[in-house]
Amino acid sequence: YYASMGLRTCLVIQSQDPTAEFLIGRKIGNTPPVGKDTLHVVQLESTKIMGEELSVLPGMDSVLAIGALAKLIRFIGGTGSTKEPERKFDVIVYDGISNEETLRMKGSSAFANPLKFSCYLVMDPSNCMSVKVALRYWGCAIQAGTNVSGAFYLASASNQASNKGPIEENFFPLATTSVPFLSMDFVINWDIAINNLNEDARKLLTLKSGNSRSISPVTFDQTKKTLILFLPRFDKSDIRLSQV
């Protein structure tokens, strides 16, 4: 979407799943190519980041990925090292591992600027577990200090209207919108797919996190002397409070 708008976009993929190569119709390397194309795709490989001679310890993949992202971010606005080929990106899209560790690192100060970083939930409303997982990750993101800008749900012409109400209710006050379901049985025509995006999806993709609905994870009621935590999909047994 961003590349179709003329923005120089770097898509960073952490998984070694070949799905991404099928979707874009070409092989993906482990460094962004230098060229005039608006879309650059890079597939992170832990051994290439660390060096072939070093072993990657379990759990290090997310750490290395965030480090690689931080390095790529230096190229936004052309602020990269003069020793490197010029790779000036307007947008970096990270499709990485969905786990709490990644969320915690995204909530760090390095990625805390809501005017520069956005995070989105994606779910399949026809799968109740997919919706529950998205809600849980939303709660984990809030707990980690990661700002979630909105949520996308897959929709077809037959179920878009029926899913809109329940999704909006479950994820309120988060902005939600549908995106077309893309079949993997055929080569995807991205021009058609992008043209089929509704106006709400386009607005959400171009919305700065700092302008999204403000959600406070903690509310203190001075009158009732109570503390209210907003952590979607968490219950009391999941939360431990300590008094200092």
Q: What pLDDT digit, counting tens, does each position of 133-170 carry? A: 999 889 888 888 888 889 999 986 555 556 778 898 99
What percent of the chain is modeled with pLDDT above 90?
Answer: 14
What percent of the chain is modeled with pLDDT above 70?
Answer: 73
CA dihedral 19, 103, 91, 179 (to 10 degrees): 60
pLDDT range class, residue 210, cuts 50, 70, 90:
very low
Neighbours of 87 (CB within 10 A): 19
Mean pLDDT of 100-125: 76
Peptide bond into 173 cis (omega under 30): yes
Predicted local confidence at residue 43, as pLDDT = 84
pLDDT range class, residue 81, cuts 50, 70, 90:
very low
Report DSSP letters for 18-85, one per residue. THHHHHHTS--BSSPPPSS-SEEEEE--HHHHH-TTSPPPTT-HHHHHHHHHHHHHTTBTT-S-TTSP
Q: From CA 95, how far away is CA 14, in angstroms rounded?
A: 7
pLDDT range class, residue 78, cuts 50, 70, 90:
very low
Q: What pLDDT digit, counting tens, does each position of 192-207 carry? A: 889 999 999 999 998 6
Least confident of 76-90, 92-106, 120-134: 76-90
Mean pLDDT of 91-104: 79
pTM over cut 0.85: no
pLDDT range class, residue 44, cuts 50, 70, 90:
confident
Predicted local confidence at residue 225, as pLDDT = 81
Q: From CA 92, how far away is CA 9, in angstroms rounded?
A: 6
Question: Could you tell me which of 151, 138, 145 has the C-alpha nearest to residue 231?
Answer: 138
Q: Could you tell me the two tokens for 139? A: 């709660």
Predicted local confidence at residue 82, as pLDDT = 46
Sign of torsion, CA 109 115 117 121? positive
Helix (H) or strand (E) holding 204: helix 199-205
pLDDT range class, residue 211, cuts 50, 70, 90:
very low
Q: From CA 66, how far away is CA 72, in angstroms rounded?
A: 10
Predicted local confidence at residue 202, as pLDDT = 92
Helix (H) or strand (E) holding 143: helix 128-144
